[in-house]
């Protein structure tokens, strides 16, 4: 399927593994040049090398913590230095700690806000002016089903994912006249390292095995099966596709 992304430049956050890596791989398969960021340098560079070798597209990796606005600015500047623009932004971040209201300190709330909400705001703030000026841009926020269906013991994630959803929905109306779309995707229970870690937390709390304690209980699907990161690739890319009448991507510098 040609989604009209060949020659576009995509910035994907938290892209060294899991959902972020899955969408980065599919963007590359569609011919988009990539800027990937993640906190772990080694895993990030391994992902960049693997995607570049498999697809032949340019891939730039920048180790960064998106909860730090200075790191966000550095990633975007690296993208501008290498490619001159960012056409597609995919915001994504690891989840905050699990816990109930009584166990979550003010510092934990502040850290989670920087990770899940401020990171989206700062990434968007950095790339949106260029998208509006060029008359084309795609912003996709990877949040969680927790934004609509709160998950037990994930108070921080439940609260702040919903904040991202509300912000993005409002922003979508503001920037639509400029040829920029803003969408959220809310993955359900997907077999990632994050979900496995949460299962360990619940197992320790309840004195059971991790296999018996997936977050939120059994998989919420008719087939009682967990999704894999690859299951969601196409649904994400559909949100960043070019419309048939859209002009082709400008050449890279």
Residue 105 lies in a domain: yes
Q: How far is CA 200 from CA 109, 207, 215, in A?
A: 22, 10, 9
Question: For residue 179, what are its two tokens?
Answer: 């040829």
Indicate if the pLDDT at residue 187 is higher than 80. Answer: no
> pLDDT, tens digit, for every residue of 91-147?
999 889 999 999 999 999 999 999 999 999 999 999 999 999 999 999 999 998 887
Which of 82-91, 165-174, 180-189 has the weakest average pLDDT? 180-189
| Confidence tier at 236 by pLDDT (50, 70, 90) | low
> What average pLDDT does range 53-57 have in this prediction?
98
Domain count, the chain: 1
* 246 φ/ψ angles, rounded to the nearest 5 degrees: -70, 140
pLDDT (average), residues 195-206? 56
Considering the domain boundaries, does residue 249 fall inside one? no
Task: Look up the CATH number of the domain holding residue 14.
Answer: 3.40.50.720
What band does 233 get if pLDDT is binned at 50, 70 and 90?
Answer: low
The residue-averaged pLDDT of 46-55 equals 98
Using alpha carbons only, give the angle 102, 104, 107 rounded to the nearest 5 degrees: 140
- Looking at the predicted structure, is the pLDDT value of residue 60 above 90? yes
Residue 94 lies in a domain: yes
Answer whether residue 214 is part of any domain. Answer: no
Q: Please give the residue range of the domain that contains residue 162.
A: 9-190+230-238
pLDDT at 217 over 70: no
57 found inside a domain: yes
Q: What is the mean pLDDT of residues 34-57?
A: 98
- Strand ranges across the sheet with 88-91: 59-63, 33-38, 9-12, 88-91, 137-142, 180-185
pLDDT of res. 12: 98
Q: Which has more pLDDT, 242 or 238?
A: 242
Residue 201 lies in a domain: no
Q: How far apart are CA 239 and CA 30, in angstroms?
A: 14
Q: Which two tokens mark 126?
A: 């950095």
d(CA 147, CA 104): 19
113 located within any domain: yes
* pLDDT confidence of residue 186: 83
Domain-embedded: residue 176: yes
Q: What pLDDT is attached to residue 2?
A: 74
**Per-residue model confidence (pLDDT) at position 245:** 37
Tell me: pLDDT of 67 over 80: yes
> Of the segments 136-140, 185-189, 223-227, which one has the largest average pLDDT value?
136-140
């Amino acid at each position: 399927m040609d989604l009209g992304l060949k020659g576009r430049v995509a910035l994907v956050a938290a892209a060294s593994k899991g959902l972020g890596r899955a969408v980065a791989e599919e963007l590359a398969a569609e011919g988009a040049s990539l800027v990937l960021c993640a906190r772990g340098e080694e895993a990030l560079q391994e992902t960049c090398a693997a995607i570049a070798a498999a697809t032949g597209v340019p891939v730039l990796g920048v180790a960064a913590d998106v909860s730090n606005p200075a790191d966000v600015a550095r990633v975007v500047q690296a993208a501008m230095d290498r490619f001159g623009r960012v056409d597609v932004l995919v915001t994504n971040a690891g989840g905050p700690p699990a816990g109930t209201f009584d166990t979550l300190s003010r510092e934990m709330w502040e850290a989670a806000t920087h990770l899940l909400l401020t990171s989206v705001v700062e990434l968007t703030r950095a790339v949106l002016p260029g998208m509006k000026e060029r008359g084309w841009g795609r912003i996709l926020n990877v949040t969680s089903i927790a934004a609509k269906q709160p998950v037990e013991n994930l108070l921080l994630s439940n609260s702040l994912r919903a904040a991202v959803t509300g912000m993005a929905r409002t922003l979508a109306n503001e920037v639509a006249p400029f040829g920029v779309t803003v969408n959220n995707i809310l993955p359900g229970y997907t077999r990632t390292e994050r979900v496995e870690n949460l299962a360990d937390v619940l197992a320790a709390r309840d004195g059971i095995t991790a296999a018996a304690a997936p977050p939120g209980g059994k998989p919420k699907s008719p087939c009682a099966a967990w999704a894999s990161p690859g299951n969601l690739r196409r649904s994400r890319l559909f949100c960043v596709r070019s419309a048939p009448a859209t002009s082709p991507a400008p050449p890279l510098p």
